[in-house]
Every structure is written in C-alpha cells, then in structure tokens.
Structure 1
Amino acid sequence: MPPSSSPTRTGAISRVDGYFSDGGFQKDLSDWVAYPTESQKPGSGPELMRYLEEAIRPRLQTAGFTCEIFENPVQGGGPLLVGERIEDPALTTILTYGHGDVVRGQVDQWRAGLAPFELTEEGDRLYGRGSADNKGQHLINIAALEAVLAERGHLGFNVRIVIEMSEETGSAGLAEFFRAQKDRLAADVLIASDGPRLQPDTPTLFMGSRGGVNFDLVLNLRDGAHHSGNWGGLLADPAMILAHALATICDRRGQIQIPEWRPDSLTDTVRAALDGLPIESENGPQVDVNWGEESLTPAERAFGWNSFAVLAMQSGVPEAPVNAISGHAKATCQLRYVVGTDPEDIIPALRRHLDRHRFQEIEIVPDPGGPFKATRLDPNHPWVKFVAGSLTRTAGKAPHILPNLAGSLPNDCFADILGLPTVWIPHSYRGCSQHAPNEHVLKPVCRDALGLMAGLFWDLADKPET
C-alpha cells in the first residue's frame, strides 16, 4: 500500500491496527515461534542463525534497512544481527533491540493441546515459546516502524537495531561485541521492549533492570552413598548441612542477612516513584504479604531491593530415592540486585558470610555466564518524559513508570558501554508464564502495544531538541 497523500499519526496507528485485525500479526508470530531457537540447548547454533537469516533479515531489508549478521565474539555464543536505516545523519537516531533466542521448550510439560513451537490461540491468549519473550515484542516494534513508513513514506528519524541470539544464556558476547562496534551502534537513545507490564491494561515504562548473579552452593563430603540403616547417625548428611547454610542467608520470611547484600539506594526519590504502583493482578499469583523485607511495600521489594532465591536443590536421586545417605548436595541460587550493591563483592561477601557461620566446606561455584549488572535511569530524564507523553497521548492515560525492572536484562551494555539513556516499553504481562511451560501473550496487550509504538515512532520525527 502506497504512503497516504495526507499522512497522519492516526493513519499510522490505523494501519498497524489493521495488521492485527486482519491476522497479519498472529500469522507472523506463528512463523517466528516455529523456529526452535533454544540457545540453552547444545547444538542450537544452526537454528539461531536460521532465525536471523530467514525471519529477521528479509523483513528488515524490505523496510529499507541494511543488515549484517556477525558471529559471536565469545565461543559458544549465538550470532548477532545489526540493521540500520539512516535517513539523514542530522536526525535523531534510536537504537532498538530484541532477542530471538528462547529458553528450553520443556516440551513434555506443556498443557494438553499446547506445544512450545506451535502458536495456539485460545480466547485472548496466544501460546508458544517466545511469544512473550521476546519474539512477540520485537515483532510489535518492527511492525510499528513499518506502519509509520507505510503511512508517511519515511520515518523522519534514523534507526539501528540489534537482534541477539544469546540472551537466555546471559547475553554471552554482547558486551564484547558492543565494545568492538561502539561507533557503529551510536545513537541518541535506546527504545526497546522486553519484560512485562505491571498491569495488562496500562502501558509501562522502565529505565533499567535489577542485576542478576547465579551460583551453585556445593557440598561434597564423600564418594557415593551409604546405607541409612547402617550409617544413619554416623555420617554427616550434606543436604541437612546445606539447608542450614541456606537458612543463614535469609531468615524465615526471606529477609537477607548478609549486610553487603542489603542495598543503600532505596532513596526517597525512588520510593516516591514506586509509591502506589500496583503489583498484583487477576492473571498472576497472589503476593505473600509475610515474605520479603518487612519494612518495605511490595513495589519497593520488587523494584527497589534485593532478593535471594533457591532455584533448585538436589541430594541423592530425587526421581528414585533409596535408603541411603548421600555424599553430595547442591543448591542453585540467585541474587537479584539493584543499583547500590557492589557486584564485585557479591560472591566474596557470601564466602565471608559462610565462613563466619562455619560452613567453610561449602564451595561456591559462580555461573560461567557471568552476571547481569544493575542499571537505573532517573524517571525525570527528558527521554522518559517524551516517551511517557507519547504513550499517554495514544492510550488516553499515563503509563506506569519504574526506575528499573524487577528482572534482569543486559541493559548495562547499552547504558554503560554505549552510554545511552535507556527506555524500555514492555509488551507482555506478569502472568505470561515466561520461562515456564504454557508461555503466552494476551491479544489485547499486543494490539494495544502496536498502536502505542506506532504513535511513538510517529512522534519521534517531531521530537524537539533537548
């Protein structure tokens, strides 16, 4: 369809709404979900590359982007695509981002009638691995750019885009790639999408993310297991010892007991930004009111504080227990942390803490993927105000604004390496089963997000200089 003879913002939004109502969005998402881009699965490299070569590059080239696919600078990392459409170097340049890799499909754990790599429609839900994280989200942004191009004939600003294929393995190689390509990725701002809205019916902005550090706590006491009748009461049980060690990290209600893990950045300004923000929704679990830092509100716990979690534990053979005392126990753990926590001291502080409590025999094994670092942008930044104003104009109500996401993203690569202000506009919701069986997106959220992004991209051409 040619550009409109009288192009308007409303026209661009109408075009992208038609793309949704005519089934174009659902068909394209179905095609993209069908790529089993499980970066956590050994041997996934060909599928990761195929997604970039077959799904992303042709689509962007049709929209006037030049594209190049790069090998990851870190061995074992997935490829990366960089695309750009430069209309005039004097214009504003945005950088946008998405990741085409997904977590493991967990095929056998999905509900009957669902499969991870087949998009399935049930009422207002579209089920499929990557529908929420992150294929659906970068599809929305690309489609919104296309709608503005179709309506106006040009964007009125420049766009650079990065699609990586290793986010679910800790964004392996992304920092190294950004350092090597810093000039090529120069921009005025990052505007990208990942994560959930606070509430499905209200847009959300966040300007950073909590950091994340994963590690194993391992206790090896002896080779093999020994009969619990013959040796019970005589051999130390590694599972019990490890459980006691974990109990020193947090108290009964999950409050962190390691002083260095308790941040100093929950300022009055941050508290004011979080005041009144909703946490619960009808689509997600109920918040446990007696869990977490007792003096904080739920929003402050999720977005302004650190949280420790035991992701998995093992001793013996859980799927086939025998009457024996194991010689080994392991807990896979995670600390989500905010700005104000020294990332270089997280593991050393844990070592000191365990030693103080006489658990010197427990080994700390950091995740080889390394940590995501914590980042945060001032909610009063001019770019935040501009984006919030555009979303308000389209939605008819103000968005929820978070200093940072509760989850972790490679936002430090954009904020610290590229030096960009970072504004994220998530297109999912908190009950989407991201990283779990039955992952899905809500059709009303997707439709709303398409219009919001088309309006924002339209407004970028008229953004005043700051």
Structure 2
Amino acid sequence: MQVVLNYLESRQQQFVEELREYVSHPSVSAQSDHRADMQRCADWLAAHCRDLGLQVRVHDTPGHPIVVARTPRRRGRRHFLVYGHYDVQPPEPLELWSTPPFQPQIRAGALYGRGASDNKGQHWAHLKAVEAYLRTGTELPCDLTFLIEGEEEVGSVSLESFLHRHRKELACEAVVVSDTGLPARDLPALTYALRGIAAFELVIHGPDRDLHSGIFGGSVHNPAVVLCQLLGRVHDSRGRVTIPGFYNEVEPLTAGERQQLRRLPFSERAYRKLLGVPALFGEAGYTPNEQRMARPTFEINGLTSGYQGEGSKTIIPAWARAKVTMRLVPRQRPATILRRVRAFFRKHCPRSVRMEFIPGHGCAPYRLDPAHPWARAARSALERAFGRKPVLMREGGSIPIVIRFKEILRAETLLLGLALPDDNAHSPNEKFDLEVFARGQRMSAWLWQELAR
C-alpha cells in the first residue's frame, strides 16, 4: 500500500492538470447546444480510462453516452461498482462567475470551474486511486467497474433502462458513490441516509378568463386568494406540517443519531450569514441540522398567477398555480404521501373554484445501516485517509439512482462525499478543494483493501 500511496502523493500536480482539462469540457446535459460537447467529453474520458489499462466501452443511449470502464474480472474476487456523472449544471448566470466556468482556474487551494466538485472531481479521485494500483503493479484486491453517465443533472433518464439491460454485467457487491459532501476539510463523513422526494403541482381554476377587478371583484372567488389560503393551512406556527398522516411512518431519531449530528460543525450565526436570512425557522424540537437532513418537509418551489409584467393590471386571475416538493425520510413513500396531500386539499378547497392536482416526479428515501459490513469498511478507509473518525450523517437531498441500484442490482450504496459545504454546487464559482481531492484518492485506495476483507 505504501507504494500506492507514494504514487498518489508524487502525482498530485499531474492529477490536477488532468482534472482541469476534464472540467474544461462544457458538458451541459440540459442544453441541446452542448450535445456535441457531451459526446466529446465522454470520448475524452473513455480514452483516458483506456490509457490507464481499463477495458472501456462507450454506450450510446437515446440521450447522452454512458461510459463503462472495468478492471479485468477475476474468478473469486468481489466486484464493486463506482458511479459518477460527467454532465454538469448550466453555468448561468455567467456574470456572477469570477472566472469563466469552463476555463478552470486554481485559487486559494481549490480548482474553480463548473463540474469541479459536482461531479467530475469526486469520481476523478477514485479513478486516480485505481491508476496508482495499475501503474505501480500493485494488485487490486477486488474487481471494479466505473459507470459514468451523462444525464444525472437531467434526471438520469437513460440509466434505469441501461441498468436493466446490463444487470448481469453490472452485478456487484455494493456501489460506491461520491456525489455528496463532507462537513469540513478535516472531518470525513459516511452518509448513511438520503431523503426521498415527492413533487406535485396544485392549480386552482376560477373564471374562464381574467376579469376586471372593479366590475366583478367581490362576486367571484379569486383563485390566487384560494391558493394562498390552502397553502397557508399546511404548516402550523411551530413549523409542523398539519396534513393528516404526514408523519405516520416517520421513525424518531435515535439518541446515537442525534449525537452524531451534533458532531457536525455548526454556527447559527455563520449559517444565517451563509443563507442571508435574519433568523432561522423550522420544525420545533429539532436542531437546524436535524431539520434539513432528517425530517420531512413541504416546500413551495414556485407560485404563479395573474399579471406579472411592469406596472399594474387590475384583474381577477383565471387561475393560480403552485409547484411543490416534499422531502421524505426513511419509511415514507411518495405515492402514499401524495394521496394524503391530495385528500387534504380536496377537503379544504371551496366549491366556488375547481382544483387540479398534478403528481410529479418522486423517489423513495434511502438508508443503509451504519453497522453494515460495507459501512464499517468505508468508515475505516475514511479514518485512514483523513486521520480522524468519520461522522455518520444524513443528507437532505435526494439521489434517485441510489434507489434504482438497490431495486435493479440488489446492491447497497456507500455514499462517500468529497464536496465541502461552500463548494457552490449548482451555483456560480463552483470549486473543488484540492486537499480534499488528495485525501479522497487515499480514501479510495484504502477502500478497496477494506472492502476486500
């Protein structure tokens, strides 16, 4: 192992320059103008993996290519899958970037560029760890397959059918995903739970056209008012969701889980400053970290009704619309929650308007027992690389593909994030901390040893 670790240490400048070239590809999956860039990025990644000695195939899909790179399969060896994505979020608004998003720059120990941490830098750390084994002639103790897709930022549309078609080839003991975060540069983390999500739109229909508010106002129920009143019923003054049955399946946090969350560095003042709010608000009885990582939520994402242009237009709008997503915790199911929400709004919607409830996308929550053998192996690798016991944490976001890995491949997922809280994923001036990048390579190198045991 020392030979592998020495190789990693001696090649950091080279690895950063390679990552800079990788990040320079404008692989924006959401924008059709970048379709050729997506193909070039996939081909560049495939060529790099071949140069390392991996067996590589670029799979065409109805969307963007999927790159599969494998170490040779050997009888009797455990097989693990490493997942990542080479597509990135749109960089707009461009004027908020200090340097161009696809001309990566190094500043203050970090690489700045769109996709640096989400997700190119994170899976690049795993590739470099494997390179260290291959280039030093050190035998990998297990077989590995890298599955790197190009549609994660647009919902992984092609990946589910790909997993079904290649289920036998991709069958594995577990999946390793570094697409989450760690709380601080010197505090590693194993994310053992993800919140699920359930989305819907609520539309209130009133008159068949916009009406003059002076001539008709007072005799017609205003859809915008109805919508606001309905949404205003959802939370009580203590931040708790009032929808009957919303919390039925929610398991209380254990004392151990709450203790682990208290290990996360947190300053309310700094958190308020980061968010730009005068005060925090959330479900009473829970800390901010518990509220955002381990409790279910109901959030209005958008409200639309009536005239939105310059100046005034005195109307009663014909309709009002709200876009909502709910984050769900283990044991809650999107379909069940959506049924309860629909019933709640139907009960309270007045007969003077027509309500339309439109279910949207969703995925179930995910939880891995922190005492699972794979989880113990991952924690050991993290401690070796960072020199400190990792914290066990939940993630407030959702990664739908993790559920697909469990359903289709029957494999648990190890979430070993390398992004810092201020790495600006999905925001201008995205960056990737280069010290964490180096530690992530060491973690990955140790991980295969620990998992093989």
Tell me, yes or no, whether TM beats 0.5.
yes
2:370 equivalent to 1:379: yes
Gapped regions of structure 1 (runs ≥ 5): 1-8
Instruction: Give how far 1:167 is off.
Output: 1.3
Report the counterpart of residue 420 of structure 2 in structure 1: 429
Q: Which amino acid aligns with 1:397?
A: R
**TM-aligned CA deviation for residue 44 of structure 1:** 4.4
CA deviation vs aligned residue, 1:278-330 (integer Å, no higher than 9, x gap) = 16366854898752221223333233221222222223454535323333332
Q: Look up the match of 1:213.
A: 198
Report what 1:26 is aligned to.
16
Assess if the C-alpha contact under 8 Å between 1:125 and 1:440 holds in 2.
yes
1:375/1:415 contact within 8 Å kept: no
Work out whether residues 107 and 115 of structure 1, in 8 Å CA contact, stay in contact via their aligned partners in 2.
Answer: no
Q: What is the rounded CA distance, in whole Å, between the counterparts of 1:152 and 1:315 in structure 2?
A: 64
Cα-to-partner distance string for 1:329-364 (whole Å, 9 max, x where unaligned): 322221111111022212222110101212673322
Question: Residues 62 and 222 from structure 1, CA distance in 2 versus in 1: closer, same or farther, beyond 3 angstroms?
Answer: farther
Q: Which residue of 2 aligns with 1:294?
A: 284
Q: Which amino acid aligns with 2:94?
A: D
Please name the residue that 1:344 is paired with: 335
Q: Is the 8 A contact 2:55 2:72 kept in 1?
A: no
> 1: distance between equivalents of 2:279 and 2:251?
23
Aligned partner letter, 2:142: F
1:126 Cα shift?
A: 2.6
Partner letter of residue 430 of structure 2?
Answer: E
SS in 2 for 1:386: helix
Q: Tell me if structure 1 keeps the 8 A contact 2:294–2:395.
A: no
- In structure 2, what is the Cα distance between the partners aligned to 1:236 and 1:37? 48
Residue 71 of structure 2 corresponds to 85
Q: Match of 2:157? A: 172
Kept after mapping to 1: 8 A contact 2:104/2:112 = yes
Find the residue that maps to 1:184 and give its secondary structure. helix
Give the helix-richer structure, 1 or 2. 2
Q: Which moved more, 1:246-255 or 1:176-185?
A: 246-255
CA deviation string 1:37-72 (max 9, x = no partner): 222224544333322112x21111122222222233
Say which of 223, 229, 232 aligns to 1:238: 223
Given residue 165 of structure 1, which amino acid in structure 2 is its aligned partner? Answer: G
Map 1:102-141 to 2 at 5 A.
Answer: 102-111=88-97, 113-141=98-126
2:187 paired with 1:194: no
Q: Deviations over 1:94-152 (max 9, x none)?
A: 110001122222143524x3333222333233322211211111111111211222234
Partner residue in 1 for 2:387: 396
Tell me, yes or no, if the aligned pair for 1:208 and 1:377 is still in contact at 8 Å: yes
Label 1:204 to 1:221 Cα distance change in 2 as closer, same or farther (>3 A): same
> Distance in 1 between the 2:403 and 2:265 partners?
25
- Indicate conservation of the 8 Å contact 1:33/1:131, yes or no: yes
Q: CA 1:342–1:137 in 2, change beyond 3 Å: closer, same or farther? A: same
- Work out which of the residue numbers 139, 156, 166 in structure 2 matches 1:154: 139
Q: What do the CA deviations read for 1:198-224 (whole angstroms, capped 9, x no partner)?
A: 223211111342112232222343455
Change in CA separation of 1:166 and 1:399 when aligned onto 2, cut-off 3 Å: same
Question: For the residues of structure 1 that align with 2:332 and 2:265, how far apart are their CA atoms?
Answer: 23
| Separation in structure 1 between the aligned mates of residue 68 and residue 307 of structure 2, nearest angstrom | 46
Mapped to 2, the partners of 1:158 and 1:241 lie a distance apart of: 58
The answer on whether the counterparts of 1:274 and 1:299 sit within 8 Å (CA) in structure 2 is: no
Residues in 1 aligned to 2:210 and 2:345: alpha-carbon distance in whole angstroms:
25
Q: Distance in 1 between matches of 2:278 and 2:334?
A: 28
Deviates more, 1:376-385 or 1:186-195: 186-195
Alignment check: 8 A CA contact 2:244 2:344 kept: no
Q: Does 1:412 align with 2:397?
A: no
CA contact (8 A) 2:4 2:138 kept: no
Q: 1:243 to 1:321 in 2, by over 3 A?
A: farther
Change (3 A) 1:350 1:342: same
Match of 1:15 in 2: 7
Distance 1:341 1:181 in 2: 30
Q: Is the contact between residue 89 and residue 158 of structure 1 (CA under 8 Å) also seen in structure 2?
A: no
Whether 1:280 and 2:271 are equivalent positions in the alignment is: no
Which secondary structure does the structure 2 equivalent of 1:309 belong to? Answer: strand
Structure 1 residue 193: Cα displacement? 0.4
CA-atom RMSD in angstroms: 2.7
Distance 1:351 1:380, change over 3 A: same
> For the Cα contact (< 8 Å) 2:81–2:144, is it kept in 1?
yes
1:65 pairs, out of 47, 54, 64, with 54
Cα distance in 2 for residues equivalent to 1:289 and 1:380: 37
Q: Tell me how many residue pairs correspond in the alignment.
A: 444
Q: What is the aligned partner in structure 1 of residue 326 from structure 2? A: 335
Q: Output the CA distance in 2 between the equivalents of 1:317 and 1:133.
A: 37
Counterpart CA distance in 1 for 2:200 and 2:192 is: 26
The whole-number CA distance in structure 2 between the counterparts of 1:222 and 1:122 is 57
Structure 1 counterpart of 2:439: 448
1:365 aligns with 2:358: yes
Q: Match of 2:87, as an amino acid?
A: D
Name stretches of at least 5 consecutive residues in structure 2 with no aligned partner: none
Tell me if the contact between 1:209 and 1:411 (Cα under 8 Å) persists in the aligned partners: no
Please report how far the alpha carbon of residue 427 of structure 1 lies from its aligned counterpart in structure 2 after TM superposition.
0.9
Distance in 2, Cα, partners of 1:161 & 1:290: 41
| CA–CA distance in structure 2, aligned partners of residues 386 and 118 of structure 1 | 38
Partner Cα separation in structure 2 for residue 222 and residue 14 of structure 1: 72
1:38 and 2:38 matched: no
Structure 1 counterpart of 2:418, one-letter code = H
**Residues 208 and 411 in structure 1, CA contact (< 8 A), matched pair in contact too:** no
Flag the 1:286–1:188 CA change in 2: closer, same or farther, 3 A.
Answer: farther
Q: Would the aligned equivalents of 1:157 and 1:460 in 2 still touch at CA under 8 Å?
A: no
Change in Cα spacing, 1:107 to 1:288, as seen in structure 2 (3 Å) is closer
Q: Residues 227, 256 of structure 1: CA spacing in aligned structure 2 closer, same or farther, 3 A cutoff?
A: same
User: Does residue 183 of the first structure (1) align with residue 174 of the second (2)?
Assistant: no
